[in-house]
Structures are given as C-alpha cells and as structure tokens.
Amino acid sequence: MIEIIKLNKSYGSLAVLKELDLIIEHGKITYLVGPNGSGKTTLIKSILGLIKKYDGNIKIDGTQINGDCEYRNEIGYMPQSPSFPENLTVKNIFDMVKDLRNTAKNLDEELISKFNLEKEMSKRLKNLSGGTLQKVNASLAFLFNPKILIIDEPTAGLDPVASGILKDKILKENQNGKTILFTSHIISELEDLAQNIAFILEGKLWFNGTLENLINLTGEKNLERSVASVMLGKVV
C-alpha cells in the first residue's frame, strides 16, 4: 500500500500539490487521472524519490520513504519519455541495468520475447522507432519483478498489437499480486484496466473510488465522458 499523507509541493510561488491525501491500495490497479498541470507527474516523482523536497509524508507498506532509497528496488517505473543514452544498443541497456541492480535472479523477460525485442538487440537506441523504444521502456519496467509498477502513458506510441500485449501483462502482473499505478490521457483505451480511479484536480484529490462510482457521480456513460465533465466543471 502506498499512503500519501498531506503532501504539499511548490515550485517557487506555484503550489502544485496541496494537502494531497491518497491511499493506493495494495494489489490493485489504480488509474491516476487529472487535467494537464494538475500535479500527476509531481506526485509520481515524489513517490519515486525523484522529488525529495516536499511537506507531508509518503509511506510504502508502512515505511516512510523520504531519504531512503532501498524501497526503490521494489518499484518498476515506465516513464513517459525515457532518456536513454542514445548511442547504446538495446542489448547494452538491458545489460547495463542488470549490472546496476547486480542481480540476474528472478528476472521477468516475458515482454522482451512477447515484443520480439531479441531481433532489435544489436540496434542503437537512437535508431529505434518510437514504438520500439516504448517496448524497451516497458520491458525494463517489468524486468526486475517489482512489487509496485508505476506506468506513465503505457500505450502511447504502441501499435494495437503491442498495446494489447502490454495491457495483458499489466493484468497478469496484477493477478500475481502487484500494485499498479498508471496515468494516461488515452482514457477509452485503458478504462477496462482501472480497478480504482484517483482523480486529481488542482493538486488535490477530488475523487478516489471505482469507475462505477465516478460514472454514477457524473451521470455520464463512460470514464472518458465522466473525466471530461469533471474537468469542464460540470460536477462540483
């Protein structure tokens, strides 16, 4: 379980997260939604320890994370735009992260084979198509069998086959007990994954509950329309 307790984060005079309380339940898939600029990336970076200066608390399985880095081994992160060293080959990047983690145990290489990345191994990252780069990005996030997965725009740039493979993998790992937090603006494509919706508006948690509850609250027919109606201020 990830507990966010009264999280406040400002950049200069801009208050981005304001007394944000959120519980991301263990073993569930939580869909983090909110308009551009509402603070989703700032929240994710705080959970990952990429942002350290904030007020409030973040606890993972009861342990406060600030200043500690051990817990990060338990988190797989798939960033929206990974910044890989572009002269490395695909094989180099997999070898490099395995070396950094210093473990060859319990590796999950299923996505590498499902995405057929073996045949891309000798190519340099700078020469890959956007979709293939995204496949590498996804495969790295799942590689060390983390207990928690944080995924930013999972299907962006992927073709429908690859997107289906990744969605199936997310569901499979969730069935294996993993906690998954993802965010995306491609709502219609991903709403079937969402067991829980955390809706952030202007740096505050506006809603945390099931898809059915959100649809009931907004009176709309699906998640995409519900989210749009909240963003348009039709629901208060």
* Cβ nearer to ligand ADP, comparing 104 with 232: 232
CB of 202 to ligand ADP, least distance (A): 10
CA–CA distance, 120 with 162 (Å, rounded to integer) = 15
Using CB under 6 A as the criterion, which residues of the chain lie in contact with ligand ADP when the complex forms? 11, 14, 16, 34, 36-42
* Cβ nearer to ligand ADP, comparing 40 with 147: 40
CA–CA distance, 193 with 29 (Å, rounded to integer) = 7
CA–CA distance, 200 with 33 (Å, rounded to integer) = 6
CB of 120 to ligand ADP, least distance (A): 30
* Cβ nearer to ligand ADP, comparing 42 with 218: 42
CB of 123 to ligand ADP, least distance (A): 31
* Cβ nearer to ligand ADP, comparing 16 with 60: 16
DSSP at 185: S
Bridge partners, residue 11, by sequence? 14
CB of 88 to ligand ADP, least distance (A): 27
CB of 10 to ligand ADP, least distance (A): 9
Which amino acid is located at 51 in the chain?
I
Q: What are phi and psi of 59, to 5 degrees?
A: -120, 135
Which residue in this structure is represented by tokens 């950049």? 11
* Cβ nearer to ligand ADP, comparing 16 with 166: 16
Are the C-beta atoms of residues 144 and 103 closer than 8 Å to each other?
A: yes
The edge-to-edge listing of strands for the beta sheet with 75-78 is: 75-78, 148-152, 179-183, 29-33, 196-201, 204-209
